[in-house]
Amino acid sequence: MTPTCGSADVRTIDGAKVRKVVVACDAGMGSSVLVASQLSETLARYAVSVQHASINEIPDDADVVVCQEALVVRTRRAVPDRVVLGFRLFLGDPAFARLARAIRDGVLLAG
Amino acid sequence: MTAPPDVADRTADSRIARIRVAAQRFGGSLAAMVMPNIGAFIAWGLLTALFAPNGWLPDPTLAALVKPAITYLLPVLIGASGGRLVHGHRGAVVGAVATIGLAVGTAVPVFFGAMIVGPLAAYLLRAFDRTLGSRVRPGFRMLVDNYSSGVLGGAMAVAGMVVVGPAVQAVTVWLGNGVQLLLDHHVLPLASAVIEPAKVLFLNNAVNHGVLGPIGAAQAAAHGKAIEFLMETNPGPGLGVLLACLVFGPRSMRPTVPGAIVIHFFGGIHEIYFPYVLARPRLLLAAIAGGAVGILTLVITDAGTIATPSPGSIIAVLAVTPKGGYLGVLAGVTVAAATSFAVGSALLGFGRAERNTDDTDLRECRRADD
Protein backbone atom coordinates (compact mmCIF):
# COMPACT_ATOMS: atom_id res chain seq x y z
CA MET A 1 0.00 0.00 0.00
CA THR A 2 2.69 2.46 0.95
CA PRO A 3 3.98 3.78 -2.35
CA THR A 4 7.74 3.63 -2.15
CA CYS A 5 8.59 3.10 -5.80
CA GLY A 6 11.01 5.71 -7.12
CA SER A 7 11.46 7.58 -3.85
CA ALA A 8 14.83 6.62 -2.47
CA ASP A 9 14.51 8.90 0.52
CA VAL A 10 11.62 7.29 2.35
CA ARG A 11 10.98 8.79 5.79
CA THR A 12 10.21 6.68 8.80
CA ILE A 13 8.75 7.28 12.24
CA ASP A 14 8.13 5.04 15.23
CA GLY A 15 4.36 4.60 15.51
CA ALA A 16 4.53 5.10 19.28
CA LYS A 17 6.04 8.58 18.80
CA VAL A 18 3.24 9.84 16.58
CA ARG A 19 1.39 12.66 18.31
CA LYS A 20 -0.20 14.47 15.40
CA VAL A 21 -1.63 13.16 12.15
CA VAL A 22 -2.59 15.62 9.43
CA VAL A 23 -4.99 14.64 6.66
CA ALA A 24 -4.26 16.71 3.56
CA CYS A 25 -6.27 17.39 0.43
CA ASP A 26 -6.24 19.98 -2.34
CA ALA A 27 -8.40 22.60 -0.66
CA GLY A 28 -8.27 21.33 2.92
CA MET A 29 -12.00 21.89 3.19
CA GLY A 30 -13.89 18.83 1.99
CA SER A 31 -12.47 15.35 1.70
CA SER A 32 -9.71 15.91 4.26
CA VAL A 33 -12.29 16.96 6.85
CA LEU A 34 -14.20 13.77 6.15
CA VAL A 35 -11.18 11.52 6.64
CA ALA A 36 -9.87 13.50 9.62
CA SER A 37 -13.11 13.08 11.52
CA GLN A 38 -13.07 9.32 10.95
CA LEU A 39 -9.41 9.04 11.96
CA SER A 40 -9.71 11.21 15.05
CA GLU A 41 -12.35 8.85 16.40
CA THR A 42 -10.02 5.88 16.20
CA LEU A 43 -6.81 7.69 17.15
CA ALA A 44 -8.13 9.72 20.10
CA ARG A 45 -7.62 6.75 22.45
CA TYR A 46 -3.88 6.77 21.68
CA ALA A 47 -3.67 10.49 22.51
CA VAL A 48 -2.98 11.32 18.86
CA SER A 49 -4.57 14.48 17.53
CA VAL A 50 -5.84 14.58 13.97
CA GLN A 51 -6.12 17.74 11.86
CA HIS A 52 -7.04 18.49 8.29
CA ALA A 53 -5.22 20.91 6.01
CA SER A 54 -4.63 21.99 2.46
CA ILE A 55 -1.49 20.42 0.98
CA ASN A 56 -0.02 23.92 0.76
CA GLU A 57 -0.55 24.59 4.44
CA ILE A 58 0.39 21.44 6.30
CA PRO A 59 1.36 22.45 9.85
CA ASP A 60 5.01 22.05 10.83
CA ASP A 61 4.30 19.83 13.81
CA ALA A 62 2.65 17.06 11.78
CA ASP A 63 4.31 13.69 12.48
CA VAL A 64 2.46 11.79 9.77
CA VAL A 65 0.62 13.18 6.77
CA VAL A 66 -2.19 11.15 5.22
CA CYS A 67 -3.63 11.83 1.75
CA GLN A 68 -5.26 10.16 -1.23
CA GLU A 69 -2.84 8.18 -3.40
CA ALA A 70 -3.23 10.52 -6.36
CA LEU A 71 -1.94 13.39 -4.21
CA VAL A 72 0.98 11.57 -2.56
CA VAL A 73 3.70 12.88 -4.89
CA ARG A 74 2.52 16.45 -4.56
CA THR A 75 2.27 16.12 -0.78
CA ARG A 76 5.79 14.63 -0.53
CA ARG A 77 7.11 17.61 -2.40
CA ALA A 78 5.32 19.95 -0.01
CA VAL A 79 6.63 18.20 3.14
CA PRO A 80 9.77 16.31 2.07
CA ASP A 81 10.87 15.51 5.63
CA ARG A 82 7.59 13.98 6.81
CA VAL A 83 6.15 10.48 6.59
CA VAL A 84 3.41 10.60 3.94
CA LEU A 85 0.92 7.75 3.80
CA GLY A 86 -1.45 7.26 0.89
CA PHE A 87 -4.90 5.75 1.05
CA ARG A 88 -7.20 4.78 -1.73
CA LEU A 89 -10.82 4.94 -0.61
CA PHE A 90 -12.22 7.73 1.51
CA LEU A 91 -14.45 5.31 3.38
CA GLY A 92 -13.23 2.08 4.91
CA ASP A 93 -9.74 1.97 3.42
CA PRO A 94 -7.54 -0.65 5.12
CA ALA A 95 -4.77 1.95 5.35
CA PHE A 96 -6.62 3.69 8.18
CA ALA A 97 -6.78 0.55 10.32
CA ARG A 98 -3.12 -0.14 9.55
CA LEU A 99 -2.15 3.34 10.74
CA ALA A 100 -4.11 2.89 13.97
CA ARG A 101 -2.47 -0.48 14.58
CA ALA A 102 1.00 0.88 13.93
CA ILE A 103 0.42 3.69 16.41
CA ARG A 104 -0.97 1.27 19.02
CA ASP A 105 1.84 -1.26 18.66
CA GLY A 106 4.67 1.18 18.04
CA VAL A 107 5.47 -0.21 14.61
CA LEU A 108 7.80 1.70 12.30
CA LEU A 109 5.83 3.71 9.74
CA ALA A 110 7.49 4.45 6.41
CA GLY A 111 6.38 6.52 3.48
CA MET B 1 15.93 4.70 -28.17
CA THR B 2 18.98 3.21 -26.48
CA ALA B 3 17.27 2.68 -23.14
CA PRO B 4 15.78 -0.76 -22.44
CA PRO B 5 12.00 -0.77 -22.74
CA ASP B 6 11.30 -0.90 -19.02
CA VAL B 7 13.59 2.03 -18.31
CA ALA B 8 11.93 4.00 -21.11
CA ASP B 9 8.56 3.13 -19.60
CA ARG B 10 9.63 4.33 -16.19
CA THR B 11 10.91 7.62 -17.58
CA ALA B 12 7.64 8.12 -19.42
CA ASP B 13 5.77 7.24 -16.22
CA SER B 14 7.73 9.68 -14.12
CA ARG B 15 7.26 12.36 -16.76
CA ILE B 16 3.51 11.85 -16.56
CA ALA B 17 3.74 11.94 -12.76
CA ARG B 18 5.72 15.18 -12.96
CA ILE B 19 3.21 16.78 -15.30
CA ARG B 20 0.37 15.68 -13.07
CA VAL B 21 2.00 17.06 -9.93
CA ALA B 22 2.73 20.34 -11.74
CA ALA B 23 -0.89 20.56 -12.87
CA GLN B 24 -2.13 19.75 -9.37
CA ARG B 25 0.12 22.38 -7.81
CA PHE B 26 -0.72 25.10 -10.32
CA GLY B 27 -4.41 24.30 -10.24
CA GLY B 28 -4.28 24.02 -6.47
CA SER B 29 -2.98 27.55 -6.13
CA LEU B 30 -5.66 28.90 -8.49
CA ALA B 31 -8.33 27.18 -6.43
CA ALA B 32 -6.69 28.34 -3.20
CA MET B 33 -7.30 31.95 -4.26
CA VAL B 34 -11.01 31.33 -4.79
CA MET B 35 -12.09 28.70 -2.30
CA PRO B 36 -11.46 30.56 0.97
CA ASN B 37 -13.82 33.24 -0.38
CA ILE B 38 -16.72 30.99 -1.33
CA GLY B 39 -18.82 32.48 1.46
CA ALA B 40 -18.67 35.87 -0.27
CA PHE B 41 -19.63 34.24 -3.57
CA ILE B 42 -22.62 32.64 -1.89
CA ALA B 43 -23.63 35.95 -0.31
CA TRP B 44 -23.44 37.57 -3.74
CA GLY B 45 -25.41 34.72 -5.31
CA LEU B 46 -28.13 34.96 -2.68
CA LEU B 47 -28.38 38.74 -3.00
CA THR B 48 -28.75 38.31 -6.75
CA ALA B 49 -31.32 35.53 -6.45
CA LEU B 50 -33.39 37.57 -4.01
CA PHE B 51 -33.21 41.19 -5.08
CA ALA B 52 -32.35 41.28 -8.78
CA PRO B 53 -35.22 42.39 -11.08
CA ASN B 54 -36.13 38.77 -11.90
CA GLY B 55 -35.47 37.47 -8.35
CA TRP B 56 -37.73 36.31 -5.54
CA LEU B 57 -38.08 39.70 -3.81
CA PRO B 58 -37.19 42.31 -6.46
CA ASP B 59 -35.97 45.46 -4.76
CA PRO B 60 -34.10 48.15 -6.70
CA THR B 61 -32.48 49.60 -3.57
CA LEU B 62 -31.02 46.32 -2.31
CA ALA B 63 -30.24 45.16 -5.86
CA ALA B 64 -27.67 47.97 -5.94
CA LEU B 65 -25.45 45.62 -3.89
CA VAL B 66 -25.17 43.09 -6.69
CA LYS B 67 -22.96 44.85 -9.21
CA PRO B 68 -20.32 46.33 -6.87
CA ALA B 69 -20.07 42.97 -5.13
CA ILE B 70 -19.14 41.06 -8.29
CA THR B 71 -17.15 43.87 -9.89
CA TYR B 72 -15.10 44.89 -6.86
CA LEU B 73 -15.61 42.77 -3.75
CA LEU B 74 -15.09 39.30 -5.24
CA PRO B 75 -12.05 40.12 -7.41
CA VAL B 76 -10.45 42.03 -4.52
CA LEU B 77 -10.95 39.03 -2.23
CA ILE B 78 -9.34 36.77 -4.85
CA GLY B 79 -6.44 39.18 -5.25
CA ALA B 80 -6.02 39.39 -1.48
CA SER B 81 -6.02 35.59 -1.12
CA GLY B 82 -3.52 35.33 -3.96
CA GLY B 83 -1.30 37.86 -2.23
CA ARG B 84 -1.62 36.06 1.06
CA LEU B 85 -0.43 32.78 -0.49
CA VAL B 86 2.80 34.52 -1.54
CA HIS B 87 3.53 36.85 1.36
CA GLY B 88 1.12 36.54 4.28
CA HIS B 89 -1.02 39.46 5.37
CA ARG B 90 1.25 42.08 3.86
CA GLY B 91 0.94 40.27 0.57
CA ALA B 92 -2.84 40.18 0.94
CA VAL B 93 -2.96 43.95 1.40
CA VAL B 94 -0.95 44.81 -1.72
CA GLY B 95 -2.77 42.09 -3.64
CA ALA B 96 -6.09 43.71 -2.76
CA VAL B 97 -4.91 47.20 -3.68
CA ALA B 98 -3.46 46.01 -6.97
CA THR B 99 -6.74 44.25 -7.79
CA ILE B 100 -8.92 47.29 -7.18
CA GLY B 101 -7.01 49.13 -9.90
CA LEU B 102 -7.69 46.28 -12.25
CA ALA B 103 -11.37 46.08 -11.30
CA VAL B 104 -11.92 49.81 -11.83
CA GLY B 105 -10.15 49.73 -15.17
CA THR B 106 -12.36 47.07 -16.74
CA ALA B 107 -16.02 46.43 -17.45
CA VAL B 108 -16.00 42.68 -16.75
CA PRO B 109 -15.36 40.82 -13.47
CA VAL B 110 -11.58 40.47 -13.39
CA PHE B 111 -11.22 37.13 -11.62
CA PHE B 112 -8.42 35.89 -13.87
CA GLY B 113 -6.66 39.22 -13.62
CA ALA B 114 -6.91 39.16 -9.83
CA MET B 115 -5.28 35.71 -9.87
CA ILE B 116 -2.31 37.29 -11.64
CA VAL B 117 -1.86 40.76 -10.13
CA GLY B 118 -2.61 39.73 -6.53
CA PRO B 119 0.25 37.22 -6.29
CA LEU B 120 2.47 39.42 -8.50
CA ALA B 121 2.14 42.46 -6.22
CA ALA B 122 2.82 40.28 -3.19
CA TYR B 123 5.83 38.76 -4.90
CA LEU B 124 7.30 42.20 -5.57
CA LEU B 125 6.69 43.25 -1.96
CA ARG B 126 8.31 40.06 -0.72
CA ALA B 127 11.32 40.77 -2.91
CA PHE B 128 11.56 44.26 -1.40
CA ASP B 129 11.11 42.99 2.16
CA ARG B 130 13.84 40.41 1.73
CA THR B 131 16.38 42.80 0.26
CA LEU B 132 16.12 46.49 1.12
CA GLY B 133 13.41 46.14 3.75
CA SER B 134 15.46 43.81 5.91
CA ARG B 135 18.30 46.32 6.21
CA VAL B 136 16.20 48.97 7.87
CA ARG B 137 16.94 49.82 11.52
CA PRO B 138 14.23 48.61 13.91
CA GLY B 139 13.12 52.14 14.79
CA PHE B 140 12.26 52.84 11.17
CA ARG B 141 10.82 49.44 10.42
CA MET B 142 7.17 50.37 10.81
CA LEU B 143 7.57 53.47 8.67
CA VAL B 144 9.27 51.52 5.88
CA ASP B 145 6.87 48.58 6.10
CA ASN B 146 3.79 50.76 5.83
CA TYR B 147 5.10 52.98 3.07
CA SER B 148 6.65 50.19 1.02
CA SER B 149 3.34 48.37 0.80
CA GLY B 150 1.44 51.64 0.32
CA VAL B 151 3.63 52.85 -2.53
CA LEU B 152 3.89 49.46 -4.19
CA GLY B 153 0.15 48.82 -3.86
CA GLY B 154 -0.67 52.21 -5.31
CA ALA B 155 1.73 51.72 -8.19
CA MET B 156 0.33 48.29 -8.91
CA ALA B 157 -3.21 49.70 -8.86
CA VAL B 158 -2.23 52.26 -11.48
CA ALA B 159 -0.45 49.62 -13.56
CA GLY B 160 -3.47 47.36 -13.19
CA MET B 161 -5.87 50.03 -14.32
CA VAL B 162 -3.83 51.24 -17.27
CA VAL B 163 -1.93 48.20 -18.52
CA VAL B 164 -3.20 44.91 -17.12
CA GLY B 165 -6.90 45.79 -17.03
CA PRO B 166 -7.44 46.15 -20.77
CA ALA B 167 -5.46 42.98 -21.43
CA VAL B 168 -7.45 41.01 -18.85
CA GLN B 169 -10.71 42.36 -20.22
CA ALA B 170 -9.72 41.20 -23.68
CA VAL B 171 -8.83 37.71 -22.43
CA THR B 172 -12.00 37.39 -20.34
CA VAL B 173 -14.19 38.45 -23.26
CA TRP B 174 -12.24 36.13 -25.53
CA LEU B 175 -12.72 33.15 -23.20
CA GLY B 176 -16.43 33.92 -22.87
CA ASN B 177 -16.68 34.14 -26.65
CA GLY B 178 -14.85 30.83 -26.90
CA VAL B 179 -17.45 29.15 -24.71
CA GLN B 180 -20.19 30.89 -26.70
CA LEU B 181 -18.64 29.56 -29.91
CA LEU B 182 -18.72 26.03 -28.48
CA LEU B 183 -22.34 26.63 -27.47
CA ASP B 184 -23.27 27.96 -30.91
CA HIS B 185 -21.77 24.93 -32.61
CA HIS B 186 -23.41 22.55 -30.15
CA VAL B 187 -20.08 21.07 -29.08
CA LEU B 188 -20.00 22.30 -25.48
CA PRO B 189 -20.74 18.74 -24.21
CA LEU B 190 -17.34 17.70 -25.59
CA ALA B 191 -15.82 19.66 -22.71
CA SER B 192 -16.70 16.68 -20.51
CA ALA B 193 -13.98 14.69 -22.26
CA VAL B 194 -11.51 17.03 -20.55
CA ILE B 195 -13.41 17.89 -17.36
CA GLU B 196 -14.19 14.36 -16.15
CA PRO B 197 -10.66 12.90 -16.51
CA ALA B 198 -9.24 16.05 -14.88
CA LYS B 199 -11.64 15.61 -11.98
CA VAL B 200 -10.60 12.07 -11.11
CA LEU B 201 -6.96 13.20 -11.16
CA PHE B 202 -7.96 15.55 -8.32
CA LEU B 203 -7.92 18.61 -10.55
CA ASN B 204 -11.59 19.21 -9.78
CA ASN B 205 -11.08 22.41 -7.82
CA ALA B 206 -8.61 23.69 -10.38
CA VAL B 207 -11.02 23.12 -13.25
CA ASN B 208 -14.04 24.51 -11.44
CA HIS B 209 -12.73 27.39 -9.37
CA GLY B 210 -9.67 28.15 -11.48
CA VAL B 211 -11.22 28.08 -14.97
CA LEU B 212 -14.97 27.56 -15.27
CA GLY B 213 -15.95 29.75 -12.29
CA PRO B 214 -14.24 32.92 -13.55
CA ILE B 215 -15.67 32.45 -17.07
CA GLY B 216 -19.09 31.79 -15.57
CA ALA B 217 -18.92 34.86 -13.34
CA ALA B 218 -18.49 37.11 -16.36
CA GLN B 219 -21.43 35.39 -18.04
CA ALA B 220 -23.59 35.57 -14.92
CA ALA B 221 -22.84 39.27 -14.49
CA ALA B 222 -24.06 39.87 -18.03
CA HIS B 223 -26.91 37.36 -18.36
CA GLY B 224 -27.97 36.56 -14.78
CA LYS B 225 -26.88 32.92 -14.97
CA ALA B 226 -24.18 30.74 -16.45
CA ILE B 227 -23.96 27.13 -17.60
CA GLU B 228 -20.21 27.12 -16.83
CA PHE B 229 -21.00 26.92 -13.11
CA LEU B 230 -22.64 23.53 -13.62
CA MET B 231 -20.19 21.89 -15.99
CA GLU B 232 -17.95 20.51 -13.26
CA THR B 233 -20.21 20.77 -10.23
CA ASN B 234 -23.13 18.73 -11.60
CA PRO B 235 -23.34 15.88 -9.08
CA GLY B 236 -25.20 13.72 -11.62
CA PRO B 237 -22.31 11.94 -13.39
CA GLY B 238 -20.68 10.93 -10.11
CA LEU B 239 -23.99 9.75 -8.70
CA GLY B 240 -24.54 7.50 -11.72
CA VAL B 241 -21.04 6.03 -11.42
CA LEU B 242 -21.56 5.30 -7.72
CA LEU B 243 -24.97 3.74 -8.35
CA ALA B 244 -23.43 1.50 -11.02
CA CYS B 245 -20.79 0.45 -8.49
CA LEU B 246 -23.47 -0.19 -5.89
CA VAL B 247 -25.44 -2.52 -8.13
CA PHE B 248 -22.80 -4.08 -10.37
CA GLY B 249 -19.42 -3.22 -8.84
CA PRO B 250 -17.02 -5.66 -7.18
CA ARG B 251 -18.46 -7.04 -3.96
CA SER B 252 -15.52 -5.76 -1.92
CA MET B 253 -16.41 -2.26 -3.07
CA ARG B 254 -20.13 -2.26 -2.44
CA PRO B 255 -20.43 -1.82 1.36
CA THR B 256 -18.86 1.65 1.29
CA VAL B 257 -20.87 2.91 -1.70
CA PRO B 258 -24.13 3.95 0.03
CA GLY B 259 -22.23 6.24 2.42
CA ALA B 260 -20.23 7.58 -0.51
CA ILE B 261 -23.44 8.36 -2.39
CA VAL B 262 -24.78 10.46 0.48
CA ILE B 263 -21.49 12.32 0.95
CA HIS B 264 -21.16 12.92 -2.79
CA PHE B 265 -24.70 13.88 -3.75
CA PHE B 266 -25.81 15.72 -0.63
CA GLY B 267 -22.48 16.65 0.96
CA GLY B 268 -21.01 17.70 -2.38
CA ILE B 269 -17.60 16.09 -1.82
CA HIS B 270 -17.03 14.69 -5.31
CA GLU B 271 -13.56 13.39 -4.38
CA ILE B 272 -15.24 10.42 -2.76
CA TYR B 273 -16.12 8.82 -6.08
CA PHE B 274 -12.75 9.38 -7.79
CA PRO B 275 -11.11 6.29 -6.24
CA TYR B 276 -13.89 4.06 -7.57
CA VAL B 277 -13.18 5.38 -11.06
CA LEU B 278 -9.43 5.02 -10.59
CA ALA B 279 -9.97 1.42 -9.47
CA ARG B 280 -12.01 0.71 -12.64
CA PRO B 281 -10.64 3.21 -15.17
CA ARG B 282 -13.20 2.26 -17.79
CA LEU B 283 -15.80 3.93 -15.55
CA LEU B 284 -14.26 7.16 -16.74
CA LEU B 285 -16.20 6.67 -19.96
CA ALA B 286 -19.39 6.53 -17.89
CA ALA B 287 -18.51 9.79 -16.15
CA ILE B 288 -17.67 11.46 -19.49
CA ALA B 289 -20.91 10.23 -21.07
CA GLY B 290 -22.92 11.41 -18.06
CA GLY B 291 -21.19 14.78 -18.02
CA ALA B 292 -21.62 15.31 -21.76
CA VAL B 293 -25.29 14.34 -21.83
CA GLY B 294 -25.84 16.45 -18.72
CA ILE B 295 -24.31 19.51 -20.41
CA LEU B 296 -26.36 18.80 -23.54
CA THR B 297 -29.51 18.75 -21.41
CA LEU B 298 -28.53 22.01 -19.74
CA VAL B 299 -27.89 23.59 -23.14
CA ILE B 300 -31.22 22.41 -24.56
CA THR B 301 -33.17 23.64 -21.52
CA ASP B 302 -31.14 26.87 -21.43
CA ALA B 303 -30.25 26.17 -17.79
CA GLY B 304 -27.60 27.77 -15.62
CA THR B 305 -26.96 28.91 -12.08
CA ILE B 306 -26.35 32.33 -10.56
CA ALA B 307 -23.10 31.38 -8.84
CA THR B 308 -20.79 28.39 -8.44
CA PRO B 309 -22.46 25.71 -6.37
CA SER B 310 -19.76 24.93 -3.84
CA PRO B 311 -19.48 22.26 -2.74
CA GLY B 312 -21.09 20.43 -5.66
CA SER B 313 -24.03 19.14 -3.63
CA ILE B 314 -27.56 18.98 -4.98
CA ILE B 315 -28.54 21.30 -2.13
CA ALA B 316 -25.95 23.92 -3.14
CA VAL B 317 -26.93 23.51 -6.80
CA LEU B 318 -30.59 24.23 -6.07
CA ALA B 319 -29.68 27.11 -3.76
CA VAL B 320 -28.03 29.01 -6.63
CA THR B 321 -30.59 28.06 -9.27
CA PRO B 322 -32.44 31.15 -10.50
CA LYS B 323 -36.17 31.48 -10.03
CA GLY B 324 -37.94 29.50 -12.73
CA GLY B 325 -34.78 27.59 -13.68
CA TYR B 326 -35.29 24.45 -11.60
CA LEU B 327 -36.65 22.20 -14.33
CA GLY B 328 -33.62 22.58 -16.59
CA VAL B 329 -31.10 22.22 -13.76
CA LEU B 330 -32.82 19.17 -12.26
CA ALA B 331 -33.11 17.64 -15.74
CA GLY B 332 -29.38 18.20 -16.27
CA VAL B 333 -28.56 16.41 -13.01
CA THR B 334 -31.04 13.55 -13.48
CA VAL B 335 -30.21 12.82 -17.10
CA ALA B 336 -26.48 12.92 -16.32
CA ALA B 337 -26.94 10.44 -13.46
CA ALA B 338 -29.10 8.12 -15.55
CA THR B 339 -26.61 8.19 -18.42
CA SER B 340 -23.53 7.50 -16.34
CA PHE B 341 -25.40 4.77 -14.47
CA ALA B 342 -26.43 3.07 -17.71
CA VAL B 343 -22.99 3.35 -19.32
CA GLY B 344 -21.26 2.41 -16.07
CA SER B 345 -23.46 -0.65 -15.59
CA ALA B 346 -22.74 -1.79 -19.13
CA LEU B 347 -18.99 -1.26 -18.62
CA LEU B 348 -19.15 -3.35 -15.45
CA GLY B 349 -20.81 -6.07 -17.56
CA PHE B 350 -23.96 -5.78 -15.41
CA GLY B 351 -22.09 -7.57 -12.66
CA ARG B 352 -20.82 -10.44 -14.79
CA ALA B 353 -17.32 -9.12 -15.39
CA GLU B 354 -16.50 -8.68 -11.73
CA ARG B 355 -17.03 -12.32 -10.82
CA ASN B 356 -13.62 -13.23 -12.25
CA THR B 357 -11.69 -10.28 -10.92
CA ASP B 358 -13.52 -9.72 -7.65
CA ASP B 359 -11.41 -8.34 -4.83
CA THR B 360 -8.01 -8.89 -6.37
CA ASP B 361 -7.39 -5.58 -8.03
CA LEU B 362 -8.89 -3.52 -5.23
CA ARG B 363 -6.48 -5.08 -2.77
CA GLU B 364 -3.48 -5.09 -5.04
CA CYS B 365 -3.63 -1.35 -5.12
CA ARG B 366 -1.85 0.08 -8.12
CA ARG B 367 0.66 2.76 -7.32
CA ALA B 368 -1.06 5.81 -8.61
CA ASP B 369 1.80 8.14 -7.91
CA ASP B 370 4.82 6.74 -9.64
User: Quick check: is B129 in a domain?
Assistant: no
CA distance from start to end of chain B: 22
Split into its structural domains, chain B has a count of 1
Q: For all residues of chain B together, what is the average pLDDT?
A: 88
Which residues touch B211 (CB under 8 Å, ≥6 apart)? B30
pLDDT in tens, B71-116: 999 999 999 999 999 999 999 999 999 999 999 988 778 888 999 9
Which residues of chain A lie closer than 8 angstroms to B359, CB-CB? none
Whether B361 shows a pLDDT value over 50: the answer reads: no
Distances (CA, A) of B266 to A25, A91, B270: 20, 16, 10
By C-alpha distance, the chain B residue nearest A88 is: B275
Residue-level pLDDT at B363: 43
Q: Is A15 on the interface with B (CB under 8 A)?
A: no
Residues in chain A, total: 111
| Cβ-nearest to B271 among A1, A3, A25 | A25
Which residues of chain A lie closer than 8 angstroms to B202, CB-CB? 26, 68, 70-71
Least confident of A101-110, B308-317, B344-353: B344-353
- Supply the pTM of this predicted model: 0.85
Q: Is B275 on the interface with A (CB under 8 A)?
A: yes
- CA atoms B340, B345, B348, B349: torsion sign: negative
Q: For all residues of chain A together, what is the average pLDDT?
A: 89
- Rounded distance, CA B273 to CA B294, Å? 18
The angle subtended at Cα B362 by Cα B196 and Cα B287, nearest 5°, is 15
Domain ranges of chain A: 12-110
Residue-level pLDDT at B222: 85
Q: Is A86 on the interface with B (CB under 8 A)?
A: yes
Q: Domain range for residue B302? A: 186-370
Contact B221, B109 (CB under 8 A): yes
B9-23, B168-182, B328-342: range with highest mean pLDDT: B328-342
In total, the C-beta contacts within 8 angstroms joining chain A to chain B are: 99
| Cβ-nearest to B205 among A1, A26, A69 | A26
- Rounded distance, CA B262 to CA A35, Å? 15
Q: Classify burial at B328, counting beta carbons within 10 Å of its beta carbon; exposed 0-12, middle 13-18, buried 19 or more.
A: buried
Whether B14 shows a pLDDT value over 90: the answer reads: no
Show the beta-strand stretches assigned E in chain A: 12-14, 20-25, 49-54, 64-68, 83-87, 108-110
Residues of A marked active site are found at 25
Which residues touch B100 (CB under 8 Å, ≥6 apart)? B72, B76, B79, B157, B160
| Cβ-nearest to A70 among B25, B201, B205 | B201
Q: How far is A2 from chain B (nearest CA, A)?
A: 9
pLDDT-derived band at B221, boundaries 50, 70, 90? confident
Whether B50 shows a pLDDT value over 60: the answer reads: yes
**The architecture CATH gives domain A12-110:** 3-Layer(aba) Sandwich (3.40)
User: Quick check: is B112 in a domain?
Assistant: no
Q: What is the mean pLDDT of residues B56-75?
A: 91
Contact B279, B254 (CB under 8 A): no
User: Within 10 Å of residue A27's Cβ, how many Cβ atoms?
Assistant: 25
Q: Do B202 and A70 touch (CB under 8 A)?
A: yes
